[in-house]
């Protein structure tokens, strides 16, 4: 059967959520919104899904791939503006002359402004709405195809490769994603969502909040009633947003320190030469950062453009 | 930055930012005014758009200096939402009396 998904374009109420990518690729409990929808439709029999996107289409395409992961065939269509559901039905469904059937309404054409099964909880009308929708979605986020997260205690979902210190305090309900690291003395919950690969350092607290993927919550900091993603901190009660200037309080682990200093877009982790101090000369070996204070600086390998050569 | 001694209250105002650039100056000027400080010190943050860890350090130094004299009350006035967020993130809002007027 066929289905069509409409990606919401920019929503002025939640600009922070669209900073890193289009809204449908914003991370929600370890997956992006569009992936949650594809999984939902595939489980209901969809085999051909067309995705209509107007904002950063390449990012959407990269996020969903070919669809083989869900056993469906995906096509991402670029459009200049976001169509309404009625327009999409008229354009794509009513003109479809192929014999393949469509999923029954309302799953045939879906505007992804909410999570599957939660039409009463709009995601993009306010930060408070986003957070409320994620909390409501938590118990439904575990599906048979998701094996990386399990419910350790009632109301406590933890990723299989997460590392929680025995001295950390975990308070239900909360979600701790895959490869998250919670250090001793830290408190996570209640009503906390910590996305994949985040680090909650010693004695930090996360409550009534969402922490985005690859985010460092520094020692002794308290993230409360907020959405924290990289160095962005948004209070979902007041809609006030702040770019935290000091990386030891809150920062992204997915981009190098040099990018934090200059505002340049970062790269994914795994490029160690760029994670080092920006004062290092180009081409300096990564080992420099581990050299003890006062130790003689190692000689740099000669570069091809070295005039002394 | 403006420091005014109004008898019962020492008011520090017109602080556009409190960062590594001016936090040392802030500390020195406020510390110099402390010996004659009245029982209430108010730091007006209504014009403060940006605070970093150095600025927070300066506020904490003032908190400690004032704490040496039990009679002194320290207030932060009208912080902008972003500054209030930073105070909450660092849990410094528990140290100060924060007043919105």
A244 and B82 within 8 Å at the Cβ level: the answer is: no
B52 and A224 within 8 Å at the Cβ level: the answer is: no
Strand, helix or coil for residue A107? coil
**Tally of structural domains, chain B:** 1
Chain centroid to Cα A119, Å, comes to: 21
Q: What angle do CA A281, A287, A293 make, to 5 degrees?
A: 85
Q: Which residues contact A60 (CB under 8 A, 6 or more apart)?
A: A7, A22, A24, A25, A34, A51, A53, A76
Check: CB of residue A145 under 8 Å from CB of residue A41: no
What's chain A's average pLDDT? 84
pLDDT one-digit tens code per residue, B33-45: 877 778 889 999 9
Residue A258's pLDDT band, with cuts at 50, 70 and 90, is low
pLDDT given at position B36: 76
Q: What value does the mean pLDDT take over residues A256-281?
A: 41
How many CB atoms sit inside 10 A of residue A26's CB?
21
Cα Dmax for chain B: 34
User: What phi and psi, each to the nearest 5 degrees, are found at residue A223?
Assistant: -100, 110
How many CB atoms sit inside 10 A of residue B56's CB?
21
Residue A270's pLDDT band, with cuts at 50, 70 and 90, is very low
Check: CB of residue A211 under 8 Å from CB of residue A200: yes
Judged against a pLDDT cut of 70, whether residue B69 lies above it is answered with no
pLDDT given at position B6: 82
Closest among A94, A116, A97 to A46, alpha carbons compared: A116
A235 and B85 within 8 Å at the Cβ level: the answer is: yes
pLDDT one-digit tens code per residue, A53-94: 999 999 999 999 999 999 999 999 999 999 999 999 888 887
User: What phi and psi, each to the nearest 5 degrees, are found at residue A69?
Assistant: -60, -35
More confident residue, A203 or A295: A203
Closest among A202, A199, A201, A174 to A188, alpha carbons compared: A174
More confident residue, A278 or A176: A176
Residue numbers in B near A244 (CB within 8 A): 86, 89
CATH number at residue B44: 3.30.750.24
Host domain of residue B92 = 2-99
CA distance A107 to chain B (A): 41
Cα–Cα dist B68/A225, whole Å: 33
Cα–Cα dist A306/A288, whole Å: 20
pLDDT given at position A275: 33
Residue A256's pLDDT band, with cuts at 50, 70 and 90, is low
pLDDT given at position B32: 86
Characterize the bridge pairing of strands A192-194 and A174-176: parallel
Mutate to test the interface with B, among A226, A241, A244 (most CBs of B within 10 A): A244
Instruction: Note whether ipTM > 0.85 here.
Output: yes
Residue A304's pLDDT band, with cuts at 50, 70 and 90, is very low
pLDDT one-digit tens code per residue, A124-176: 999 999 999 999 999 888 877 777 788 989 999 999 999 999 999 999 999 99
CA distances from A55 to A82, A119, A167, A220, B56 (A): 9, 22, 44, 38, 39
pLDDT given at position A276: 32
Q: Which domains does chain A have, with CATH numbers?
A: 2-140 (no CATH), 149-252 (2.160.10), 257-290 (no CATH)
Give the one of A220, A242, A248 whose C-beta lies nearest to B82's C-beta.
Answer: A242
Q: What are the residues of chain A with a beta carbon less than 8 Å away from any beta carbon of chain B? A: 220-224, 226, 233, 235, 238, 240-242, 244-246, 248-250
Judged against a pLDDT cut of 60, whether residue A269 lies above it is answered with no
Q: Count of residues for chain A?
A: 309
pLDDT given at position A221: 97
Q: Which residues contact A162 (CB under 8 A, 6 or more apart)?
A: A176, A177, A178, A179, A180, A181, A182
CA distance B26 to chain A (A): 19
Query: A31-40, B54-63, B64-73: which range is least confident on average?
Result: B64-73
Chain centroid to Cα A163, Å, comes to: 19
Residue numbers in A near B50 (CB within 8 A): 245
pLDDT one-digit tens code per residue, A203-238: 999 999 999 999 999 999 999 999 999 999 999 999
């Amino acid at each position: 059967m066929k289905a069509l998904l409409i990606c919401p374009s920019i929503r002025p109420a939640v600009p922070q959520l669209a900073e890193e990518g289009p809204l449908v690729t914003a991370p929600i409990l370890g997956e992006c919104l569009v992936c949650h929808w594809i999984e939902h439709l595939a489980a209901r029999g969809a085999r051909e899904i067309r995705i209509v996107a107007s904002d950063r289409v390449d990012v959407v395409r990269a996020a969903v791939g070919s669809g083989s992961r869900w056993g469906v065939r995906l096509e991402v269509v670029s459009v200049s503006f976001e169509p309404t559901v009625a327009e999409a039905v008229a354009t794509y469904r009513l003109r479809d002359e192929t014999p393949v059937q469509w999923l029954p309404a309302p799953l045939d054409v879906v505007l992804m402004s909410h999570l599957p099964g939660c039409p009463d909880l709009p995601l993009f009308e306010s930060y408070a709405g986003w957070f409320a929708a994620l909390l409501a979605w938590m118990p439904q986020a575990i599906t048979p195809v998701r094996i990386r997260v399990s419910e350790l205690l009632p109301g406590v979902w933890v990723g299989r490769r997460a590392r929680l210190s025995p001295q950390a305090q975990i308070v239900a309900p909360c979600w701790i994603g895959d490869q998250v690291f919670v250090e001793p003395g830290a408190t996570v919950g209640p009503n906390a969502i910590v996305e994949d690969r985040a680090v909650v350092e010693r004695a930090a607290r996360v409550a009534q909040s969402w922490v985005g993927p690859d985010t460092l919550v520094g020692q002794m900091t308290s993230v409360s009633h907020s959405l924290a993603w990289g160095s962005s901190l948004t209070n979902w009660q007041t809609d006030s947003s702040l770019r935290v200037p000091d990386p030891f309080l809150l920062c992204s682990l997915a981009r190098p320190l040099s990018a934090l200093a200059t505002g340049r877009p970062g790269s994914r982790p795994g490029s160690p030469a760029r994670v080092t101090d920006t004062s290092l000369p180009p081409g300096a070996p990564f080992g420099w950062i581990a050299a003890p204070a006062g130790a003689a600086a190692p000689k740099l390998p000669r570069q091809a453009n070295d005039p002394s050569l | 930055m403006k420091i005014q001694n109004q008898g019962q209250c020492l008011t520090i105002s017109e602080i556009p930012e409190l960062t590594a650039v001016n936090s040392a100056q802030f500390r020195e000027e406020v510390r110099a005014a402390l010996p004659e400080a009245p029982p209430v010190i108010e730091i007006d943050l209504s014009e403060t758009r940006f605070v970093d860890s150095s600025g927070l350090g300066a506020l904490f130094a003032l908190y400690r200096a004032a704490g040496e004299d039990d009679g002194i009350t320290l207030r932060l006035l009208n912080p902008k939402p972003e500054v209030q967020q930073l105070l909450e993130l660092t849990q410094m809002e528990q140290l100060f009396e924060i007043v919105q007027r």
